[in-house]
Amino acid sequence: MELSTKKREQAFWTLQILGWGFINLVSVFVVKQISMSLLVYSVVMGTILGIFATSLLRLYLKRTIQFDAFGINEFVKILVSYLMAATLFGVLNFVFGYVYVEFGPALTPSELQMFKYHDNVGIQVLNSLFLIGAWTVTYLVIKLLLKLNRDRIERLELNTHLKQAQLNTLKGQINPHFMFNSLNNIRGLMLEDVEKSREMLTKLSEILRFSLTKNSNNAISVREELEMVDNYIALSKIQLEDRLEFVQNVDSETLDLQIPPMIIQLLVENATKHGISNLKQGGTIVLNIKKEKEQLILEVRNTGKLKIAKDSTQLGLQNIEQRLKLLYGHRASFNLEEVSDEVVANIKIPLT
């Protein structure tokens, strides 16, 4: 289970205080016959200086290091910031040690041994390189472990949400009203054209087969998706007849590109059900698919106004947004708007 930001901060500062306090306490107890004042000064001041230097280092690392895209630049930044933090820690130890020895209370021989190199800034910096280096390695290892745990949780959540999105899409596609209308229209068509009604039954079975099989995939080709759309339009025209005109403008180079299943079909169904079917004179649905730079552009335009009924669940539109977010994050986009007496749905999918 991933720790919350507040708990991570509390854990960091607790470890900072305990860690630096323990290190300074151990270093002081090595010296025999040390006064209480020097003991308190050394532990408290050493802990404060250690926390100060490493907290600045951590602040820099959090703001500048991209742990999700670690490379040579990140390594150089860590190395440089580590050296600067160690130098700062060494100089501060030199300054406060020098001040205590020169201006503080008289020291015993054993206490003077403790401050043997108090006036040598080079030695202080070398000692600091070891301490700050150990802290840096420990910090990076903990960050790595937390990242691995976070990635594992995100993968589990992604799989769960994808399955839920697939289930919601399936529910949205096996629409009882669409099924009833299609079967009823096909039954009426049998009295006029048996051959065509047989063809429509085949298309309906293809839609059901597609919904039950392809929907379990994360991606299919544009070509396969268009077959589904053609079947849906053919069935819709039985009811709407000349009121529905469907136009496709599809670049041939996009046919083999991969997209989430049913995403175009959802847009076309939404345009038919909430757009054209509500217009007495009917209208036109235009499907545009093109490749633009490193993006695949899917656009569906239909005659009408952008009106969402109060009792509408908007399940299809929610499915689109949810699946795009889960599969592509913020790199994909979905937009629905009204432009000059047309409703325009636009999807942009990254190709890299």
Secondary structure in 3-state letters for 48-95:
HHHHHHHHHHHHHHHHHCCHHHCCHHHHHHHHHHHHHHHHHHHHHHHH
Tell me the C-alpha distance between 323 and 329, whole Å.
Answer: 9
pLDDT of residue 174: 47
331, 337, 343, 348: CA torsion to nearest 10: -10
Checking if the pLDDT of 229 tops 70, the result is: yes
Q: pLDDT-based confidence at 215, cuts 50/70/90?
A: low
Tens of pLDDT, residue by residue over 127-147, are: 889 989 999 999 888 888 888
Average pLDDT over residues 209-232: 81
**Domain residue limits, the chain:** 5-157, 174-350
Q: pLDDT-based confidence at 206, cuts 50/70/90?
A: confident
Average pLDDT over residues 174-202: 77
For 273, other C-beta atoms within 10 Å of its C-beta total 16
pLDDT of residue 157: 74
* Mean pLDDT of all residues belonging to the chain: 81
Q: Which residues, listed in sequence order, are joined to residue 347 by a DSSP beta bridge?
A: 298, 334
Contact indicator for 131, 116 with CB cutoff of 8 Å = no
Q: What angle do CA 267, 269, 274 make, to 5 degrees?
A: 100
Q: Which of 50-54, 107-111, 115-119 has the highest mean pLDDT?
A: 50-54
Average pLDDT over residues 148-172: 68
The total number of residues written for the chain in this structure = 352
Tens of pLDDT, residue by residue over 253-307, are: 999 999 988 889 889 988 888 888 888 888 999 999 999 988 999 999 999 888 7
Question: Could you say which architecture CATH assigns to the domain 174-350?
Answer: 2-Layer Sandwich (3.30)
Q: Which two tokens stand for residue 107?
A: 């020291």
Checking if the pLDDT of 312 tops 60, the result is: no
Tell me the C-alpha distance between 225 and 259, whole Å.
Answer: 8
Checking if the pLDDT of 235 tops 70, the result is: yes
